[in-house]
Amino acid sequence: MVTGGARPRRGRWRRAKATRKPEKAAKNSGQTTVSPEEVMMQCEQPDRLLLSALKYWEVERELIEERVDAIRSAAAS
């Protein structure tokens, strides 16, 4: 007869949290070299915007000055 000895327990190991496999880099990751001409075009874009804004405010200032002169001449008459 078998006596009630301790049974060997099977290891119930907790599963570790699943870890994602590192993504492989694509052969063509879409990174292309930028030509110097493209760099210059990107650098010139803010300058064009700045020039446009300066022209706008110059025209706006001239209109304001004309209105002020018109008001002064109408008041003097």
Q: What is the pLDDT along the chain (77 residues), one digit of tens a residue?
A: 566 666 666 655 666 666 777 777 666 656 667 787 777 777 667 788 899 999 999 999 999 999 999 999 999 87
**HEC string for 6-18:** CCCCCCCCCCCCC
| pLDDT given for residue 24 in this prediction | 74
Q: Give the dihedral sign, CA 24/26/27/31.
A: negative
pLDDT at 44: 66
The reported pLDDT for the residue numbered 10 is 63
Q: What is the model's pLDDT at position 22?
A: 74
